[in-house]
Structure 1
Amino acid sequence: MFNASEMPPKTTIQPVLEALASANTLPQIPIITSVTCCFVLAVLYVGSLYVWSTKHNRDHPSTIKRRFASVSVVMLFSPFFVWYFSSPELLSEESFAKLLGFRWHGLWQAVVIPYGLTMLLFMGPIFVNCQNESIGSYFDLDYWRGCLHNIIWVRNHVMAPLSEEFVFRACMMPLILQSFTPMTAVFITPLFFGVAHLHHIAERLSLGVELSTALLIGLFQFIYTTLFGFYSAFLFARTGHIVAPFLVHAFCNHMGLPDLQDLWQQELWRRVLAIVLYIVGLAGWILLLPLATNPSLYGNTLYWNV
């Protein structure tokens, strides 16, 4: 017969529960500290793009090279915010490189799985692009040499994803995650990322674009970049690797927004197949997202414990 006296007293269970709860949270810092740091980092990043006085547009080689230099300086100073304002307890427990998403454990998974997951999402646009471009060009060394010598390509596919993910993910997320839960942090940091892209409105106005058009494009870009920021921040928090959002960012920059006009210009059977692939890709991405980003796949026990 069951003896109630054999049940362990609550006083012995409570410390265990508290220990488990504390093990699943990072040491905390004030919300005002983390949010202010992120705001300053966003201002520094955008401000560095305009520190130069130039008469050329954003795509001129001299403008791009100067911006490369200025955002590189911001990248050098950004980790200081994480090191100085993070909880001393956290810094004593974890390596600084790990906080920024640089570690070996789970590296190949962080390179392959999120990239493949994002390709699934873009399955429809990839199919349409294959109808217009030869897929063999991606296996041509001359193609890649041409890309590497094209400074606009380097900006869009290397420097922009690298600098933005390092500042807005590797340096902001560790701070925000010390003040909020992982899911809340995923929804906060992209707002800084989206606002940081509003400066393109001023650039369009300088090119003679009407104010209403520039504002409309700017609003659309804010929504798009914020949505991507959610995904990128989610990848960082779930995988604990900066390489995952960096590669996904570069891929998304390469693909751009789906060209619906090009889709409707395809032959009927190709159009129908592309639409099916759009739907299947989106549905597959939604279903596989929690599985493909399971922190246990990447050995991530720091930012998103499960």
Structure 2
Amino acid sequence: MLNLKLSSPQTLHSVTMEPEHGLTSQDERAHMRCRVSVLSCLLLACLYVGSLYVWRSSLPRDHPSVIKRRCASVLLVSAVSPAVLKAWMHWADVSVDAPVWELMGVRVEGFLPAATLPLLLTMVFYLGPLVHSAIDNPDGFRGELQSVLDVQSWKRCVRDAVWLRNQLVAPLTEELVFRGAMLPMLVPCTGPTAAVFTAPLFFGVAHFHHIIEQRRLGKDSLSIILLVAGVQFLYTTVFGAFTAFVFLRTGHVVGPVLCHSFCNSQGLPDISSALKHPQHPAVLLSYLMGVLLFLLLLFPLTDPFFYGAVPVCSLAPPPESVC
């Protein structure tokens, strides 16, 4: 169990005996902790995004040499993130009994369900797009399954720098930094439920750096670039709230990483294409069933019963709510 230095029984007693003085002191400590938490999260977000631009290049972001350099940068920031979390503990006067890596969701207990159940939940949400793709495949569901299990296809993927960035490096580093490191810093300040909706804002805003690249390439007008950035902010924030929820419910970062990778492989559900599909009643029904089943299974498949005690939730002031 973790031990958060928020207040001792003696402190609580002094607050009862001297309410005005004690509450003021507690409020000041709480405000200080929140300021340090937000600043630490901003520092991490700036380090992550800033590391992408330490390399000067006129090449597009999907060029292999650009991808390799940027992957090295964000991997370095991810490696530094535990040190930032440790520094936050010192600045915010937080003491814990568990290792920093366990707070960040890197732990053994409950690993297998954490690696499978959240991914299954995400696949349920994508039931519509998966059925849509299978219907369009000449070989149906069998063809889709064969393409997933095709060894040669996987070999080609691991040699592709874009695939490695989108399916491996980006999910791993973004989840470690924006979920694993940031949520332990926000939970003592906001509580778990508010942290689910606060942490994704850093994640969503971090994607605004794509505006710089689009302006440099000059392919679209500023209004189009801002519109795309706004849509991207919306869906990255919603997705960030989901993976933050999974992280706090399971205490593992592996689930968010795998969900992130799967969503990157699928992209946004193409509702407009589903509406125009020759078999649109069946396709739309599968979309609807996917959403309903996702909502139905959201809490059961993320029940902490499967994953053991969640270290980060011990940082939460009562009530623990989402945890």
Task: Indicate yes or no: 2:271 matched with 1:260.
Answer: yes
- Asked if the contact 2:75–2:169 (Cα under 8 Å) also holds between the matched residues in 1, the reply is no
Q: Deviations over 1:79-110 (max 9, x none)?
A: 1111121266533x212221110111111110
Mapped to 1, the partners of 2:33 and 2:245 lie a distance apart of 22
Letter in 1 for 2:124: L
User: Who is 1:176 aligned against?
Assistant: 186
Q: Report the secondary structure of 2:277's partner residue.
A: coil
- Asked if the contact 1:238–1:300 (Cα under 8 Å) also holds between the matched residues in 2, the reply is no
User: Who is 1:246 aligned against?
Assistant: 257
User: Who is 1:284 aligned against?
Assistant: 293
User: Who is 1:8 aligned against?
Assistant: none
User: Who is 1:24 aligned against?
Assistant: none
User: Structure 1: any 5+ residue segments left out of the alignment?
Assistant: 1-14, 19-26
Q: Deviations over 1:96-144 (max 9, x none)?
A: 2211101111111101110111111010011112233431111110010
Mapped to 1, the partners of 2:132 and 2:184 lie a distance apart of 38
**Shift of residue 266 of structure 1?**
2.7
**Shift of residue 288 of structure 1?**
1.3
- Asked if the contact 2:82–2:101 (Cα under 8 Å) also holds between the matched residues in 1, the reply is no
User: Who is 2:95 aligned against?
Assistant: 90
User: Structure 2: any 5+ residue segments left out of the alignment?
Assistant: 1-8, 13-28, 138-142, 314-319
Mapped to 1, the partners of 2:269 and 2:255 lie a distance apart of 22
The count of residues paired between Structure 1 and Structure 2 equals: 279
Mapped to 1, the partners of 2:153 and 2:174 lie a distance apart of 26
Tell me whether 285-294 or 228-237 shows the greater mean CA deviation.
285-294
Q: 1:38–1:89: structure 2 CA closer, same or farther, 3 Å change rule?
A: closer
Letter in 2 for 1:106: G
User: Who is 1:109 aligned against?
Assistant: 113
- Asked if the contact 2:200–2:238 (Cα under 8 Å) also holds between the matched residues in 1, the reply is yes
Tell me whether 146-155 or 126-135 shows the greater mean CA deviation.
126-135
Q: Deviations over 1:196-231 (max 9, x none)?
A: 001111211222210000000000000010000100
User: Who is 1:71 aligned against?
Assistant: 74
Mapped to 2, the partners of 1:153 and 1:131 lie a distance apart of 25
Mapped to 2, the partners of 1:253 and 1:233 lie a distance apart of 17
Mapped to 2, the partners of 1:236 and 1:55 lie a distance apart of 37
Letter in 2 for 1:61: P
Letter in 2 for 1:282: V
Superposition TM-score, scaled by structure 1 size: 0.87
Mapped to 2, the partners of 1:266 and 1:188 lie a distance apart of 38
User: Who is 1:148 aligned against?
Assistant: 158
Q: Aligned-residue CA RMSD in angstroms? A: 1.8
Query: What is the 5 A alignment of 1:1-306?
Result: 30-86=33-89, 90-91=95-96, 93-133=97-137, 134-135=143-144, 136-208=146-218, 209-267=220-278, 270-304=279-313
Mapped to 2, the partners of 1:104 and 1:254 lie a distance apart of 27
Mapped to 2, the partners of 1:266 and 1:295 lie a distance apart of 40
- Asked if the contact 1:79–1:171 (Cα under 8 Å) also holds between the matched residues in 2, the reply is yes
Mapped to 2, the partners of 1:145 and 1:131 lie a distance apart of 26
User: Who is 2:18 aligned against?
Assistant: none
Q: Report the secondary structure of 1:231's partner residue.
A: helix
Mapped to 1, the partners of 2:268 and 2:53 lie a distance apart of 26
Q: Report the secondary structure of 1:198's partner residue.
A: helix
- Asked if the contact 1:49–1:70 (Cα under 8 Å) also holds between the matched residues in 2, the reply is yes
Superposition TM-score, scaled by structure 2 size: 0.82
Q: Report the secondary structure of 2:61's partner residue.
A: coil
Mapped to 2, the partners of 1:144 and 1:261 lie a distance apart of 30
Indicate the percent of aligned positions where both proteins have the same amino acid: 41
Mapped to 2, the partners of 1:296 and 1:223 lie a distance apart of 32
Mapped to 2, the partners of 1:131 and 1:62 lie a distance apart of 38
Letter in 2 for 1:171: A
Mapped to 2, the partners of 1:54 and 1:164 lie a distance apart of 23
